[in-house]
Amino acid sequence: MSTRTRTATKPAPSQSRSQQRLAELDRTQTRRHRRRLIAWGISLVVALVIVTAGILTSLPTRSDGAHQAPDFTLTDTSGVSHHLADLRGRNVLLYFSEGAGCQICIVQMGEIAKRQADFDKQNVVVLPIVMNTREQILADMAANKVTTPFLLDDGTASKAYGTLGKGMHAGLPGHSFVLIDTQGQQRWYGEYPSMWLSPDDLLKEISSRLD
C-alpha cells in the first residue's frame, strides 16, 4: 500500500496581505476607540470640576461681626446727597451691585422697592449703590421701570465695605448687602454671587439680626 505525503497549503500572497490589512485596521480602530474613551473621561472630569467650582463660587458669603460702619457721603441719581451719619436712628441697608449692564441687579432693587412697607416696619432705609455714571444707570432704571434713586460711588464706599471686585468684574462691587443698625454699627454683610436674593429672604436676614 502506498502512502501519500500531505504538505501544508500556504495562503496565497494576496490573501495574506488582506488579512494583515484587516488586522491592522482592527488595531487602529481599537486604538481610536481607546483614545475616544480617554478623551471622554477627561472631558467628564473637567466638566465635573467646572460644575463643582461654579456651585462653590455661587454660594453666598456672610459675616455677622458687629463693628463701626465706615462713613460716607454719596450723591444719588436725583442729585440728593446722602451722609450715612445723618441716618442714625434708622436701620440702613446698603445694596451694592454692578448696576448698569446687569439687568437682574436693577430688577433686584425694583423687587425690594415693592416691599417698601415691610422694610418700613423694621425701620429700614434701603440705599442702592453703584459705580456707574448717572447716565448709565438712569438708562437701565428706565428700561426696567425702577424709580428708586441709586447712589453713585467712585469706588470709595465699595472698597471700604469690602465688596469691590467681588462680582464678575474686578473694578465693580459684587452683589452684596450690608445692614447697619440705628447706632451706626455694621451688623451683617451678605455677598450673593448668584446675583439674587429674594425680598422675603432679605427681610428674614434683616429681622434675624435686629431682633
Top mean-pLDDT range of 2-6, 13-17, 30-34, 82-86 = 82-86
- The string of pLDDT tens digits covering residues 118-153 is 999 999 999 999 999 999 999 999 999 999 999 999
Share of the chain above pLDDT 70, in %: 81
Range of the domain at 130: 61-210
- The string of pLDDT tens digits covering residues 178-191 is 999 999 999 999 99
- Asked whether the predicted pLDDT for residue 6 surpasses 60, the reply is no
Q: Is residue 48 part of a domain?
A: yes
Q: Is this prediction's pTM over 0.85?
A: no
Both 125 and 169 in a single domain? yes
CATH of the domain at 171: 3.40.30.10
Top mean-pLDDT range of 4-8, 35-39, 59-63, 188-192 = 188-192
Both 42 and 81 in a single domain? no
Q: What is the pLDDT of residue 12?
A: 58
Q: Is residue 7 part of a domain?
A: no
- Looking at the structure of the chain, the number of domains it has is 2
Both 18 and 121 in a single domain? no
Both 127 and 199 in a single domain? yes
Question: Across residues 24-52, what is the average pLDDT?
Answer: 64
Question: Across residues 76-103, what is the average pLDDT?
Answer: 98
- The string of pLDDT tens digits covering residues 153-180 is 999 999 999 999 998 888 999 999 999 9
Q: What is the pLDDT of residue 129?
A: 99
Both 128 and 200 in a single domain? yes
Both 71 and 175 in a single domain? yes
Q: What's the CA gap between 149 and 132, in Å, rounded?
A: 13
Q: Is residue 200 part of a domain?
A: yes
Both 205 and 122 in a single domain? yes
Both 111 and 201 in a single domain? yes
Q: Is residue 6 part of a domain?
A: no
Average pLDDT, the chain: 86
* 3-state SS track over the chain: CCCCCCCCCCCCHHHHHHHHHHHHHHHHHHHHHHHHHHHHHHHHHHHHHHHHHHHHHCCCEEECCCEECCCCEEEECCCCEEEHHHHCCCEEEEEECCCCCCHHHHHHHHHHHHCHHHHHHCCEEEEEEECCCHHHHHHHHHHCCCCCCCEECCCHHHHHCCCECCCCCCCCECCEEEEECCCCEEEEEEECCCCCCCHHHHHHHHHHHHC
Both 52 and 146 in a single domain? no
Both 105 and 148 in a single domain? yes
Q: Is residue 5 part of a domain?
A: no
Both 41 and 88 in a single domain? no
- Asked whether the predicted pLDDT for residue 52 surpasses 80, the reply is no
Both 42 and 127 in a single domain? no
